[in-house]
Amino acid sequence: MVKERKLNVKNIVKLVIIVVLLIVVIVSINIIRYKNSDKYKLKEIGYNKEQIEDILKLDKEYRKKILSMDYNEFLLDLMKEKYFLFENVDRYLEYHKKDENETAKNVVAITNVESDYDHYTNTKETDTSKDILMLVNKYNYLSKDFVPQNIVEVKNWYCYGNASLREDAYDAFIEMFNAAKKDDVTLIINSGYRDYQDQDDTYQEFYDIYGKNEVDKLAAKPGYSEHQTGLSMDITSYDETADTDFEDTEEFKWLQQNAYKYGFILRYPKGKEKITGYAYEAWHYRYVGLEAASKINELDITFDEYYEYFVK
């Protein structure tokens, strides 16, 4: 009997040792596993609980990128943006270094449309087969020989001096003009189609007056003006005088509410200067057709972005 009890005690001790060892092994494995987890590594880099939760919801390649870098709050903001493109991530960060106060949303937009490059660098001839959706900006140009088809004279009734436009843009303008008139608003075209030579002359004129350093802020280089498409127009009103801005007129307010319904967009909006590459121009409208204009209005994006995401 005594012997048996001894054996039992021995067995119990053995069992306890085995159990303890097992617990130690399991705990160790878990610690190793935890230390190898993204969660632990992110904590080590310096991210807080909330940020880690957000990061763990991201795609694997996004997580990998974050793990390969020092703590970077801006990178998280970027990755939450609707139009964030992983292939552009290094360019976003590069741009952010140059322009630290710009929002993640704008940095994504600026880079996606390649406006992170200096103006008139990385240029290419634009694809004119996109027709009413062709993109002309400081990186996409029209050749010297490009002349749009169906350019028609604008009747005096609708413009100051002489102007011409592509027929489809002109027809849409007349429809818009008539609708505005019903609201006692009169839209007048100040400038429409300008050919390569016109733009070359304008550019030279500004060059001679203001010099090499100022000219690019004031006039588009020949081939880079949207007016060469025949789809752009500068609009003015009776109310606009030398002392007032078009922005303050009833016509501008009406266009803000209604232009997209006729296929027109404000091409160089306020606050989007770094995306479009142009200073705010309350008077410059571009015909892009109903579908594009509605979408641009709905998403509150520039034409440059629209082209990148939906046309290219």
- Report the nearest approach of Zn ion to the CB of residue 234 (Å): 4
- Judged by CB under 5 A, the stretch of 73-81, 105-113, 165-173, 232-240 that binds Zn ion is 232-240
The reply to whether 234 sits near Zn ion by the rule CB under 5 A is: yes
Q: Measured from the CB atom, is 216 or 234 closer to Zn ion?
A: 234
Q: How far apart are CA 138 and CA 10, in angstroms?
A: 86
Residue 112 amino acid letter: N
- Report the nearest approach of Zn ion to the CB of residue 286 (Å): 9
- Judged by CB under 5 A, the stretch of 73-81, 110-118, 120-128, 233-241 that binds Zn ion is 233-241
Q: Measured from the CB atom, is 166 or 284 closer to Zn ion?
A: 284
Q: Please choose, from the candidates 227, 191, 219, 183, the residue with its C-alpha nearest in 3D space to the C-alpha of residue 203.
A: 219
Q: Are strands 124-125 and 140-141 parallel, antiparallel or unpaired?
A: parallel
Q: Please choose, from the candidates 310, 259, 308, 309, the residue with its C-alpha nearest in 3D space to the C-alpha of residue 287.
A: 259
Letters for 261-300 (x = contact with Zn ion by CB under 5 A, - = none) are -----------------------x----------------
Q: Which of the 8 DSSP states describes residue 240?
A: -
Q: Please choose, from the candidates 92, 131, 98, the residue with its C-alpha nearest in 3D space to the C-alpha of residue 112.
A: 92
Q: How far apart are CA 101 and CA 93, in angstroms?
A: 12
Q: How far apart are CA 290 and CA 264, in angstroms?
A: 8
- Judged by CB under 5 A, the stretch of 52-60, 85-93, 161-169, 234-242 that binds Zn ion is 234-242
Residue number with the shortest CB distance to Zn ion? 284
Burial of 226 (0-12, 13-18, 19+ CB in 10 A): buried
- Judged by CB under 5 A, the stretch of 67-75, 121-129, 228-236, 290-298 that binds Zn ion is 228-236
Q: Which residues of 275-306 are buried (b: 16+ CB within 10 A; e: fewer)?
A: bbbbeebbbbbbbbbeebbebbeeeebbbbbb
From 214, 281, 291, 298, the catalytic residue: 281
Q: Measured from the CB atom, is 116 or 234 closer to Zn ion?
A: 234
Coil, helix or strand for 103? coil
Q: Measured from the CB atom, is 65 or 284 closer to Zn ion?
A: 284
CB 286 within 8 A of CB 136: no
The reply to whether 240 sits near Zn ion by the rule CB under 5 A is: no
The reply to whether 194 sits near Zn ion by the rule CB under 5 A is: no
- Report the nearest approach of Zn ion to the CB of residue 225 (Å): 8
Q: Measured from the CB atom, is 106 or 229 closer to Zn ion?
A: 229
Paired residues of 281 in beta bridges:
268
- Judged by CB under 5 A, the stretch of 21-29, 66-74, 226-234, 269-277 that binds Zn ion is 226-234
- Report the nearest approach of Zn ion to the CB of residue 270 (Å): 15
Q: Measured from the CB atom, is 75 or 233 closer to Zn ion?
A: 233
What residues from 118 to 157 belong to the interface with Zn ion (CB under 5 A)? none
- Report the nearest approach of Zn ion to the CB of residue 255 (Å): 14
- Report the nearest approach of Zn ion to the CB of residue 205 (Å): 16
Q: For helices 2-35 and 38-45, give the axis angle rounded to 10 degrees.
A: 60
Q: Measured from the CB atom, is 96 or 267 closer to Zn ion?
A: 267
- Report the nearest approach of Zn ion to the CB of residue 307 (Å): 18
Q: How far apart are CA 144 and CA 64, in angstroms?
A: 47
Q: How far apart are CA 287 and CA 55, in angstroms?
A: 41
Does 281 participate in catalysis according to the annotation? yes
Active site residues: 281
Binding-site ranges for Zn ion (CB under 5 A): 234, 284
